[in-house]
Every structure is written in C-alpha cells, then in structure tokens.
Amino acid sequence: MAETAARPTLAGRLPRTAPRGSSPRLLTGARPHGLAPSELVKLHHTILEALPTGRGIVAQLVAPEYDAAINGVAYDLAYITASWLSKRVLYVDGTGMRMDDDILNRPASAGDFDPANLEGLITRVVGLELYQMSFPNMTGALDLAPVLRRIPEFMERLRLTFDLVIIAAPPASEAPMGVLLAPYVDGNILVLESGTTRAPVAAELRDSLRASGGTVVGAVLTHCRSFGPRWLRRWL
C-alpha cells in the first residue's frame, strides 16, 4: 500500500517566544466594545455550534463601516478561547489589508502580500497557546488572482495547526478584502455598532458576503447599552 503523504502544517515552524509589546491580558469586566468575558465565551461556543467542521475553524469578523471595536472583539475572543478554554488560537489583524489610493500608478504585482511568506509573521503571546499576526497591506496588488489562488492552501494549513483562527477584516466600506476572503473561511460574522450601523448597510454586506460564496453565520452587536444578549445572533 502506498504511503500517504502528510499534509503540511505550521506546527513545526511556530515561534516559541512572545513578540515585544504583546496585547495585555483580558481583565474581568466589560470591555470598551461592550462584550464581557462571559459573553465572549458564549460567542465562542455559538461559533462552534454554527460551524461543526470537526477540525480547526477559521472565522472572519467584518464590519460594513469603520468600527474601532472590531480588533478588540477579535483579540478578546481569541484570548478567552486560549486562556479560559485552553485552545490553540490564532488572532489575525487583517484591518491593514487595503489598497493604496495611488495603486493604479503601481506595477501589477502581488506586492507585499504573499501567502507563502505569511507564516513568518506569526508570533506567540507568552504563557498561552495564543498566536497573533497581521496581514500586510495590498500595496501594488493590482492583480489579485495569483494571491487568491494561494489562499485556500494557507487557510488549510491554519485549520490543521490551530483550533480557532479569528480574522479581523477591514471595513467593507474602505476595502473589499473581507468579501474577497469570505469564501475561503468557514464562517463570516458581521460586526455591527449599536445605534450607528443602519439595517440596509448591514444587509448589503450580508448579501455581498453570500454572493461571493461565503457563509454568514450571524452578527455581533458592539457598544450595546440594552440588557439583551450581545453575542452572536443568527442572521435570519
């Protein structure tokens, strides 16, 4: 019987030291985005229920418009999952994935964004199985086809290495990267700001994510001042 080749993972190449200036530990109590640690735990469990893949899950958080809370929600969810639930988690700051205003004057190349080189950007938060990285910007990426062809393989390696990967995407109003990545992740979660995000704007993003081939599993409401639940809500 022919020997089956092992699929590549990142496990053997992950860094063992923390980056300088790692994000601080999550404190007890409400965070600026409005979700308490207990709500983040519920959010984690709801994502697992909505995306029963039987392996690592890649989830993307994307807001229709600028929301300063999206990074906080993504990082705190990753931190809670790693520290309270003892999972291996990767937090990805993708908010910098946007194209420069003068991109039309740049050469048609993939620029700084090459999935083959992204593994070197992963660093570990000391004392936890929590890792973090930032996607580079799309400077010079006039032709995204070569980049997108490599994304599925990179995402598969992340699934084989981590229990949960949380990506904070740039706002859809400023960059299309969340919509472009939508079909390559297991689930997309809308991040909506209470009292600010208009329903038609949220619906338009939901429809765009679905039209691109992505799965929308629900929404998170930030800065919510009501007494109702603020974690993941199924989008009907």
Q: Which residue has the higher pLDDT, 144 or 171?
A: 171
Q: What is the pLDDT of residues 155-186, one digit of tens each?
A: 999 999 999 999 999 999 888 889 999 999 99
In a domain, 170, yes or no: yes
CATH code for position 108: 3.40.50.300
Q: Which residue has the higher pLDDT, 143 or 38?
A: 38
230 pLDDT band, cuts 50/70/90, is low
pTM above 0.85, yes or no: no
pLDDT at 232 over 80: no
Q: What is the pLDDT of residues 83-137, one digit of tens each?
A: 999 999 999 999 887 655 444 444 444 445 566 677 788 999 888 899 999 887 7
Kindly write down the DSSP assignment for every residue of the chain, as one continuous string: -PPPPPPP-SGGG---SPPTTPPPPPPSS--TTS--HHHHHHHHHHHHHH---SS-EEEEEE-SS--TTHHHHHHHHHHHHHHTS---EEEEE-TT----TTGGGS-SB-TT--GGGGGGG-EEETTTTEEEEE----TTBS--HHHHHHHHHHHHHHHHH-SEEEEEPPPTTT-SHHHHHGGGSSEEEEEEETTTS-HHHHHHHHHHHHHTTPPEEEEEEES--SSS--S-B---
In a domain, 116, yes or no: yes
Question: By residue range, what is the domain housing residue 79?
Answer: 37-222
Count of structural domains within the chain:
1
In a domain, 110, yes or no: yes
